[in-house]
Amino acid sequence: MPNIKLRESMGLSTDSSLVYIKTTDGKLFGISTSASEMQTVFSVDLKLSNDICASQIVESKGVIFVPSNSGVVNAIDGRTKKLLWQHKVSDSMINSVMPIADNRLVVATVDGKICCLQF
């Protein structure tokens, strides 16, 4: 079993085949929901050090959105598992990410900022 230091940040793939978890050292893992033992399907290094953001990881239209405590939203291609982009919204923790219509993402931070990103 891999030594993964999970924080509270988790999410579920749209097809429920993977649980997404973000570690305190800034890595995103996809863990199989159907394996009899813990099976890591993929990992991506987001280069987020000491990330303690507990906000939910969300997938929409093939893109995995990972919030951070440094105010950065990370977007990962759900098919290739490659980092698509990182966008700095604030210097404060991302409180929530919510996909809406027309490939847009509403992002809120703990310091009260709200923005809408196109993806």
pLDDT digits (tens, 9 = 90+) for 40-88: 999 999 998 888 899 999 999 999 999 999 999 999 999 999 999 999 9
What is the C-alpha end-to-end distance of the chain, expressed in Å?
35
Dihedral of alpha carbons 102, 100, 107, 81, sign: negative
Q: d(Cα 54, Cα 68) in Å, to the nearest integer?
A: 8
Q: What pairing do the DSSP bridges indicate for beta strands 72-77 and 63-66? A: antiparallel
pTM of the model: 0.92
Q: Which domains does the chain have, with CATH numbers?
A: 6-118 (2.130.10.10)
pLDDT at 4: 76
Structural tokens at position 85: 């982009």
pLDDT at 2: 64
